[in-house]
Amino acid sequence: MDVSTIIAPLNDDQRLAVSAPMQAMLVLAGAGSGKTRVLVHRIAWHVQINHISPYHILAVTFTNKAANEMRHRIEELLNTSARSMWIGTFHGLAHRLLRQHAKQAKLPDTFQVMDSDDQLRIVKRLLKSLELDDSKWPAKQVQWFINAQKDEGIRARHMSQADDFYHRQMQRIYLAYEELCDRSGLVDFAELLLRAHELLRDNEDLLAFYRERFRQVHVDEFQDTNTIQYAWLRLLTEGNNNLFVVGDDDQSIYGWRGAKIENIFAFQKHYPEHGIVRLEQNYRSTGHILKAANVLIANNENRMGKELWTAAGEGHAIGVYAAFNEQDEAYFVVEKIRQWVRDGGLRSEVAILYRSNAQSRQFEERLMTTAVPYRVYGGLRFFERMEIKNALAYLRLSSNRDDEASFERVVNTPTRGIGAKTLDDMRILARERGVSLWRAAECMLGEKQLSARAANALQGFMNLIEAIALATDGMNLYETVKYVVEASGLIELYKKEKQDKGEARVENLEELVNAAKLFDYDSENAENLSELDMFLAHAALEAGEMQGEADQDCVQLMTLHSAKGLEFKLVFLVGMEEGLFPSQQAVDEPGRLQEERRLCYVGITRAMQQLYLTYAESRRLYGKDSYPRPSRFLREIPPEALTEIRLRANVTRPASSSPATLGSMVDQNASFRLGQAVRHEKFGEGVVLQTEGSGDQEKVQINFRNAGIKWLMLAYAKLDKA
């Protein structure tokens, strides 16, 4: 194969990055500049030109989706299988390492990965056993605290000795949590990373082996790495100068969950011999959209600096629509979408992006009434569903009896007469003796501590698990899952449940059996795991796409966060209001405001052809009306890139919502100023929200303290300034 296949499809900057000498590289890739393409071609370059075997290449991403896509594209480009190449998520690769070296990682061979839901249950149980008041120590907060520590690479025993009660208590809980996990062979997501780091750090031979094996290391979305992830990368590469990272500081939107944008700066210090390439040519959006993005993001400080440009034309100006309220906003957006479809566009080319999930409702309702198919991202994923997790818990217990999370989950599901009292005693015993619940249950049965009825029920449960383990021994994965779903009694349980929900649950269980049938067991890369254990790990690490039927032509609804990495011809960025976007919490802290601005930058740069920004002048929030001001981000976008939208052609809208005076909220021509307090003889006191028209036709919208929002014709209504 000649060089041109790899090099020809690239622009100059991309070429510079792909063909750079073997050294540490920092590629600052703006939105839509061909980031993944550079990564894929760089790896192909190593294989083809530098003759590095795929065996010696490592590529790390954040999501399974990105990992799969990268592998696919590399194989396509090289026209060969890249199976021996390690491509995966941080968590997936860490898991692989821990499986391969469970002993050295001080983990049992049967260790199981738990997702955040499992983790929360474990924490809740732990808090109960420590007899802590759960209103003072909310499980969610404890979980968050523990994960934050782990993300920073801090073990409970390493926590700085703080004097305050809060931290001492947290440390105590954290310690107990670590003990509990060790005892039950459970590993949470953050633990995967932390332990993989410790594994390499504390085992010289292993570290030497992997440093030699991974001759070139590549990282996608580097701005999203947290402390422990970066530390792990450094272990593998520092001194070898072989770390190739791609990222965009302007798209760092996960600071709140531990991502360290500073890692980009740290990289430059730790790898002094690095090269830098900026990718600034954008292949996605038109000029107006990029102009808006560039000017907006320029308001942030401490940027690496980057300015997107395009060879395409200016395109349409960005539409700004000031809606009366959130219903009107939804109405406007859906009308525009229907127009798009009438003009021959696909629904799947359209996205509605919002700051928080709660905002989706208005749009769903409007889309529903107008019969426009849509799809909302961000619901429960397949492997996170209760019925699925229950079935998996049976499988996990049969594989590892000490799995506390699974034991708790199904010991009385379906109900079999094992009550809270029995369980409490069991937990106390387990804690006293430092053993798992399963062992505690065995003890209690052996020592005849239980009433006949409870003992009977408990014995029945344990017999069931043993029977499952026995019966499925020698079965393949599909047969095993099929057997367990039946034998556990779950199918029967859900068949009895209220029609609608129960039916769906049964279907999901059948889908789980089907998933087991289709599961692609790669025995070569199985790290001597059984097919079942591989399947269980897969279920924990890859929660699976949500509902099926993704292939339908649907309008896409999602948060700004989940839109990262995607692109759409037509984009609506809705709810552009102070307090919503930027969110209230972010307004109070300057650092977070910058992250909100980056989020806005991400949103704007999703649009290829047409972008609309909308806000509502009144919005029902948490049950009461609010009158937010337009988002400051609207004002930060240059007016020449914006155009104001009027739905009804012959109505003059107040100047307050025209782009030039956004935020100024003053209309010189109107008889009443916006915000003016007024009194009406029937409706009482209120505040002017907006005005429309002039002379005889002048209308004002008023929010009355008692009578709500009303439009009034000024000529008829008797209004006094209050």
| Residue of 116, 203, 299, 643 that binds DNA (CB under 7 A) | 116
Residue (65 or 646) nearer to DNA, CB: 65
| Residue of 50, 415, 463, 547 that binds DNA (CB under 7 A) | 415
Residue (120 or 719) nearer to DNA, CB: 120
| Residue of 60, 217, 513, 541 that binds DNA (CB under 7 A) | 541
Residue (47 or 193) nearer to DNA, CB: 193
Asked whether residue 523 is marked as a ligand-binding residue, the answer is no
Q: Which residues are known to be catalytic?
A: 35-36, 220-221, 251, 606
| Residue of 41, 46, 71, 91 that binds DNA (CB under 7 A) | 91
- Asked if the peptide bond before residue 54 counts as cis, ω within 30 degrees of 0, the response is no
The single-letter DSSP state of residue 579 is B
Residue 63 near DNA by CB under 7 A: yes
Residue 622 near DNA by CB under 7 A: yes
Give per-residue burial for 211-225: e unless 16+ CB within 10 Å, then b. Answer: beebbbbbbbbbbbb
* 3-class state of residue 439 by DSSP: helix
For the residues of 4-29, what is the DSSP string, one character each?
Answer: HHHHTTS-HHHHHHHT--SS-EEEEE
Least CB distance to DNA at residue 559 (A) = 3
Residue 502 near DNA by CB under 7 A: no
Name residues contacting DNA, limited to 182-221 (CB under 7 A): 189-190
Asked whether residue 603 is marked as a ligand-binding residue, the answer is no
Residue 21 burial (10 A CB sphere; 0-12, 13-18, 19+): exposed
Cα separation, 722 vs 719, whole angstroms: 9
Asked whether residue 656 is marked as a ligand-binding residue, the answer is no
Residue (53 or 626) nearer to DNA, CB: 626
Task: Decide if 591 contacts 551 (C-beta within 8 A).
Answer: no
Cα separation, 506 vs 510, whole angstroms: 6
Residue (417 or 675) nearer to DNA, CB: 417
Residue 412 near DNA by CB under 7 A: yes
Cα separation, 575 vs 629, whole angstroms: 11
Considering only 37-45, 101-109, 288-296, 408-416, which stretch makes contact with DNA by CB under 7 A? 408-416
Please give the sequence-ordered ranges of beta strands (E in DSSP) within 288-349, or none if there are none.
Answer: 318-323
Residue 305 near DNA by CB under 7 A: no
Count CA atoms closer than 13 A to 325's CA, side-chain side. Answer: 17
Cα separation, 652 vs 646, whole angstroms: 8
Measure the CA dihedral 689/692/697/699, to 10°. -10
Least CB distance to DNA at residue 387 (A) = 14
| Residue of 45, 62, 230, 321 that binds DNA (CB under 7 A) | 62
For DNA, what does the binding mask look like between residues 631 and 670, x meaning CB under 7 A? ----------------------------------------
Asked whether residue 36 is marked as a ligand-binding residue, the answer is yes
Residue 358 near DNA by CB under 7 A: yes
| Residue of 547, 585, 626, 694 that binds DNA (CB under 7 A) | 585
Residue 405 near DNA by CB under 7 A: no
Residue 489 near DNA by CB under 7 A: no
Least CB distance to DNA at residue 142 (A) = 13
| Residue of 9, 305, 373, 419 that binds DNA (CB under 7 A) | 419
Considering only 76-84, 344-352, 523-531, 579-587, which stretch makes contact with DNA by CB under 7 A? 579-587
| Residue of 355, 366, 385, 389 that binds DNA (CB under 7 A) | 355
Considering only 344-352, 435-443, 473-481, 584-592, which stretch makes contact with DNA by CB under 7 A? 584-592
Least CB distance to DNA at residue 252 (A) = 12
Residue (417 or 434) nearer to DNA, CB: 417
Residue (315 or 582) nearer to DNA, CB: 582
Least CB distance to DNA at residue 545 (A) = 9
Task: Decide if 120 contacts 140 (C-beta within 8 A).
Answer: yes
Residue 561 near DNA by CB under 7 A: yes
Unique residue bearing structure tokens 């931290």 = 167
Cα separation, 259 vs 264, whole angstroms: 11
Residue 559 near DNA by CB under 7 A: yes
Least CB distance to DNA at residue 296 (A) = 17
**Contact residues for 13 (Cβ-Cβ < 8 A; gap 6+):** 277, 278, 279, 280, 281
Positive or negative, the Cα torsion across 529, 531, 532, 538? positive
Residue 542 near DNA by CB under 7 A: yes
Considering only 86-94, 311-319, 647-655, 682-690, which stretch makes contact with DNA by CB under 7 A? 86-94
Considering only 30-38, 196-204, 409-417, 635-643, which stretch makes contact with DNA by CB under 7 A? 409-417
Residue (124 or 439) nearer to DNA, CB: 124
Asked whether residue 29 is marked as a ligand-binding residue, the answer is yes
Give per-residue burial for 54-85: e unless 16+ CB within 10 Å, then b. Answer: bebbbbbbbebebbebbbebbbebbeeebeeb
Cα separation, 679 vs 720, whole angstroms: 5
Cα separation, 465 vs 623, whole angstroms: 48
The values of phi and psi at residue 478, to 5°, are: -60, -50
Phi-psi region of 675 (alpha: psi -120 to 50; beta: other; left: phi over 0): left
Least CB distance to DNA at residue 519 (A) = 17
Residue (341 or 526) nearer to DNA, CB: 526
Residue 591 near DNA by CB under 7 A: no
Positive or negative, the Cα torsion across 398, 403, 405, 408? positive
Residue 417 near DNA by CB under 7 A: yes
Residue 623 near DNA by CB under 7 A: yes
Residue 250 near DNA by CB under 7 A: no
Cα separation, 248 vs 55, whole angstroms: 28
The crossing angle, in degrees rounded to 10, of helices 227-237 and 139-151 is 20
For the residues of 492-559, what is the DSSP string, one character each?
Answer: HHHHHS-HHHHHHHHHHHHHHHHHHHH----GGGSTT--HHHHHHHHHHH----SSS-TTS--EEEEE
Residue (62 or 111) nearer to DNA, CB: 62
Task: Decide if 580 contacts 574 (C-beta within 8 A).
Answer: no
Q: Which two tokens stand for residue 568?
A: 């759409």
For DNA, what does the binding mask look like between residues 592 and 611, x meaning CB under 7 A? x---x---------------
Task: Decide if 352 contacts 628 (C-beta within 8 A).
Answer: no
Asked whether residue 33 is marked as a ligand-binding residue, the answer is yes
Residues contacting DNA: total by CB under 7 A: 42
Task: Decide if 663 contacts 632 (C-beta within 8 A).
Answer: yes
Q: Which two tokens stand for residue 460?
A: 């029945």
List of residues contacting DNA (CB under 7 A): 62-65, 89, 91-92, 115-116, 124, 138, 189-190, 256-257, 355-358, 377-378, 412, 415-419, 541-543, 558-559, 561-562, 583, 585-586, 592, 596, 620, 622-623
- Binding annotation for ATP: 29-36
- Binding annotation: 29-36
